[in-house]
Amino acid sequence: MLLTMRISALAPRLAAGSGPGRIALLDVPALAKGELGVNGLIVGAEQLAGADRPQLNRLSEAADKAGCPCLVLTEPTPQPFADDDPEPIERAEDRCMRLAQAAQWLSCSAFAFPVVAGDSAEQLDAAAANLKKISRRAERLDLNMCLMPHRGLTAHPDGLTALLKKIGGFRVGTLPDLADAVASGDPVAYLRRLVPYASAVFVPGLEELAESRRRGATVGVGGSAAAAPPKPAGVKAARVSKGSRAKKAAPGTAQDTIAPPAESAAGPLGAHSLDDLAAQAAAGTPIGAEGVAVPQDPAELVVFLAGVLETIGYEHPVALDHRGKGDPIAAMRATRDLLARLHTKPEADPLAAAISGEEDPLEDAAEEDA
């Protein structure tokens, strides 16, 4: 997995004006590389308000120079692609076309945005039909178009994968969030369904994960998705094979993988395999029919979820994020050190057995269309 950072985690320090701790956007790549050792950036459109092409090119050049390239450009505002009124749809199309162009100027490999759609078959069909135009544009620009979870149709993995199936093609994907997965009540199933189509996976801080689990309500992408919603009406359950989609298109050019920093070689958790975590989590909450127990402690939970990603076969960016109070660098450094302690699980791991042996819904769709 490629360790990256979400720029919005530094939002308080990117605020306009001068003062202690303030930093310019062009300085973020060097700071992220130097302070966290990350190898890429997830850029938010909210950080680029008013920027023109030369300014975007300068950010891309600064990122490449620091060895921390821009990988994904995200739009935080949900786009109404299933609206009954054509005017909001036209505005959404224009916004996403501009987003795609900006992503190309930043040398990103993907752009992402949430979609507003109800959990009905009619809304599913409408959203898919309108999104195909954006998807075709993404293909021409050699970009992946990723849909971020949001209330309604895409809050549930089955709804989101059904929408991807309707849109079609291999340039569509997702941008899952570990906080959304935890809040869903079944993080293993949630990640198993969405991660194979991910251009990046957001990894929030320990406080955010703990809050997400305690409240039982998603605090993931923009805090917009609902926790454990019912499966959308008329949507067939999605089944995903281990690593079936993740290996098809690497979203970034950097090849560095997560390596334990010197200071994290030892600690209260030590080095864990998934077998270790399964034993330690015996008193945790059973998850679904699979019987996989999820650790209660946030630190162990981070390592456990990273193990789920590894078991699924995910090899692409994991993005450190911070949405709470306090020093974002310190919070993300703590999460980074936990991720670095993950050791490859044995093949006999019960979690691997629970995850493997599933079918790929998008491959099934391709066979049906043939």
pLDDT, tens only, 7-45? 999 988 887 556 677 899 999 999 999 999 999 999 999
Ranges of the chain with pLDDT below 70:
16-19, 215-292, 342-370
| pLDDT of amino acid 325 | 84
Using CA atoms, how far apart are residues 210 and 347, in angstroms rounded to an integer?
30
| pLDDT of amino acid 220 | 36
Both tokens of residue 226?
Answer: 């609902």
Cβ atoms of residues 326 and 13 within 8 Å: no
User: Residue 42, SS3?
Assistant: strand
| pLDDT of amino acid 364 | 53
Cβ atoms of residues 335 and 267 within 8 Å: no
**Is 120 a domain residue?**
yes
**Is 357 a domain residue?**
no
Both tokens of residue 231?
Answer: 């499966």
Number of domains into which the chain is organized: 1
**Is 289 a domain residue?**
no
**Is 330 a domain residue?**
no
Using CA atoms, how far apart are residues 325 and 319, in angstroms rounded to an integer?
18
Residue 167 structural domain: 2-258+313-322
| pLDDT of amino acid 278 | 40
**Is 155 a domain residue?**
yes
Any residues with CB less than 8 A from the CB of 346 and at least 6 apart, and which? 273, 274, 275
**Is 29 a domain residue?**
yes
Apex CA 196: angle with CA 319 and CA 7, to 5°?
15
pTM here?
Answer: 0.77
**Is 168 a domain residue?**
yes
CATH code of 181's domain: 3.20.20.150
**Is 317 a domain residue?**
yes
Token look-up 């109404």 returns: 80
The continuous run of DSSP H or E covering 113 comes out as strand 110-114
